[in-house]
Structure 1
Amino acid sequence: MSENIFVAGAAGAIGSALVPLLIEAGYTVHGTTRRPERARALEARGVVPVVVDVFDAEALQAAMVGIKPAIVIHQLTDLPPDLDPRKMADAAYRNARVRTEGTRNLVAAAQAAGSRLLVAQSIAWVYAPGPLPHVEEHPLDLQAEGSRRVSVEGVAALERSVLGAKGITGTVLRYGQFYGPGTSNAEPKGACPVHVEAAARATVLALRNARSGIFNIAEDNPEVSSEKAKRALGWHPSMRLRERQGVAS
């Protein structure tokens, strides 16, 4: 019998890249969506759909207790299509709510369900100004202002919830800026980019290694170091799945 895994945000950019890898690895994947119309699309990809809102703590806990997942993966965000600059200021507050209240609800539901591992999406471009490249021990930019401060505080809350979850191994992956299929960017963009397929592979490696802590997941660049993930998880930014070619690179 395969192990149950619960993916919050299975229909998103990284969720879409991650799900095939999890199914290939033998997991029974239960994936969430807030929208009932997306359930059929998830089912067609081999996912057991779970229509639930992360802000409905009672419904989320009931769903997770019924599934009893050994592993929970948190890939939830609330961002506008193509990261529309006109909508990003408002999105910062919605996304921060996902990271604070949503993560709190996920942690509580995972504890109630007896899960042993929780892997959560964070971001790698919220470090405070300081020596480069940034490593995981460097402080976050909690003195920032405006929408950046809202985002950084949301990230900090998410990471505290995940790493402080009693009875669960908590792993935080600080991804760089996504590019590739299903994302807003076809090519690398930003100070610390990462291909969405490489980020998905890092998530699978985090499941296999089940280590508590924070790991930067980004391509080699002057801003952020991912050496810890390379050493501890065996990850490399060149890891992608090229289905059209039938080879992994």
Structure 2
Amino acid sequence: MSKTVFLAGATGVIGSALVKLLVDEGYLVFGSTRREDKADYLRSLGAKPIVVDVFDRERLYEALIQIKPAAVVHQLTDLPRGLDPSQMEAAINRNARVRTEGTRNLIGAMLASGCESIVAQSIAWAYAPATKPYAEDAELDIKAEGLRQVSVGGIVALEQQVLNTPHIQGTVLRYGHLYGPGTGTDQPTGASPLHVEAAAYAALLALRLNARGVFNVAEDKAEVTSEKARRVLGWVPELRLPHVLSAQ
């Protein structure tokens, strides 16, 4: 099997860590960024930069048809550094668009290129209130209101496309609240904390093992259980990069 990967969102906090892991694993990584000035950063990590906006459907299709990746890893978000509260309302709406329209464009480009495998980032705090810890078969909070409704709606759209599109073999990683390099905090945060480098390792393991379905990915004693990720992926929350990378 080809080890060519298209990493969408390669300069994000997870993407930056994941590029290094994939390159060290022997993958040929094509990493996407919206900004030309980040191309050199991706080259320094060992990736081949692709400057493209996920909403530029024509350019995205053109890129994937040329690359013909064996797999796509979807780590796209549109959030402010450190989740700045003053910017979050607008960011939540932008992020939901990435997860709906952006995912649709990405999967369309995959199909056009002949690629059938995708690993996609989701979140572990979109569950409807129920008995904790939440496992992957718990219901999502589709009856939420306000900005939470926007966030959950984006997640539902992303997951349905990744898991239910014909001819696509999809994996969804429901990440906990990130901390570590590039996230704005070095300490565990939220009800389901997750170190950014451990998050990157979950994506690598899912890709390496060709695992399919939904996986919670968070530390022990979280609101969610990550037992499935431990059992199927061999993932543990203590995983870290050999050396620290800083997201640019």
- TM-score > 0.5 by shorter chain: yes
1:119–1:203 contact (8 Å) kept in structure 2? yes
8 Å contact from structure 2 (residues 193, 222) kept in 1: no
Structure 2, unaligned runs of 5 or more? none
> How far off its partner does 1:160 sit?
0.4
1:218 aligns with 2:214: no
SS at match of 1:241: coil
Aligned positions, number: 244
Q: Which residue of 2 aligns with 1:109?
A: 109
- 1:145-194 Cα shifts (integer Å, max 9, x gaps): 11111000000000001001222210000000111111121110000001
Q: Is the 8 A contact 1:32 1:51 kept in 2?
A: yes
User: Is the 1:132–1:222 contact (alpha carbons within 8 Å) kept by the matching residues of 2?
Assistant: no
Amino acid at match of 1:162: V
The TM-score with structure 1 as length reference comes to 0.95
Structure 1 residue 12 corresponds to structure 2 residue 12: yes
User: For residue 154 of structure 2, what is the aligned residue in structure 1?
Assistant: 154
> 1:114 Cα shift?
1.2
CA shift at 1:2, angstroms? 6.1
**Displacement of 1:116 after TM fit?**
3.0
Match of 1:173 in 2: 173
Partner of 2:186: 186
Within 5 Å, give how 1:47-86 maps onto structure 2: 47-86=47-86
State how far apart, in whole Å, the 2-side matches of 1:108 and 1:9 are: 17
Does residue 236 (structure 1) correspond to residue 236 (structure 2)? The answer is yes
One-letter amino acid matched to 1:34: R
> Structure 1: any 5+ residue segments left out of the alignment?
245-249
Q: What corresponds to 1:133 in structure 2?
A: 133
**Structure 1 residue 43: deviation in Å?**
1.3
The alpha-carbon distance between structure 1 residues 30 and 143, as it changes in their structure 2 partners (threshold 3 A), is same
3-state SS, counterpart of residue 86 of structure 1: helix
**How far apart, CA to CA, are the structure 2 residues paired with 1:52 and 1:210?**
26
- Counterpart residue identity of residue 189, structure 2: K
* 4+ residue runs over 4 A deviation: none
Q: Is the 8 A contact 1:180 1:195 kept in 2?
A: yes
Q: Which has the higher contact order (CA 8 A, sep 6+)?
A: 2
Q: What is the distance in 1 between the residues matched to 2:3 and 2:63? A: 16
Residues of 1 paired with 2:160 and 2:194: CA distance? 24
State the Cα distance separating 1:102 from its structure 2 match: 0.2
Measured after TM superposition, the shift of residue 110 of structure 1 is 0.8
- CA–CA distance in 2 between the matches of 1:190 and 1:22? 28
How many angstroms apart in 2 are the aligned matches of 1:19 and 1:81? 19
Q: 1:138: how far off?
A: 0.5
Is residue 45 from structure 1 mapped to residue 35 from structure 2 by the alignment? no
State the alpha-carbon separation in 2 of the partners of residues 241 and 31 from structure 1: 19
Assess if the C-alpha contact under 8 Å between 1:2 and 1:26 holds in 2: no
TM-score by length of structure 2 reads 0.96
Deviations 1:51-84 (A, max 9, x none): 0010011110110000000010000000012211
RMSD (CA atoms): 1.2
The amino acid of 1:154's aligned partner reads G
CA contact (8 A) 1:169 1:211 kept: no
- Could you report, residue by residue, the CA deviation over 1:186-231 in whole angstroms, capped at 9, with x for unpaired residues? 1100000011111111111101221221000000124100001111
Q: Find the aligned partners of 1:221 and 1:150 in 2 and give their Cα distance.
A: 27
SS at structure 1 position matched to 2:29:
strand
Corresponding residue of 1:142: 142
Matched, 1:88 2:113: no
CA contact (8 A) 2:120 2:172 kept: yes
1:209–1:233: 8 Å Cα contact kept in structure 2?
yes
Q: Percent identity?
A: 58
Residues 2 and 70 in structure 2, CA contact (< 8 A), matched pair in contact too: no
Mapped contact 2:118–2:168 kept (Cα < 8 A)? yes
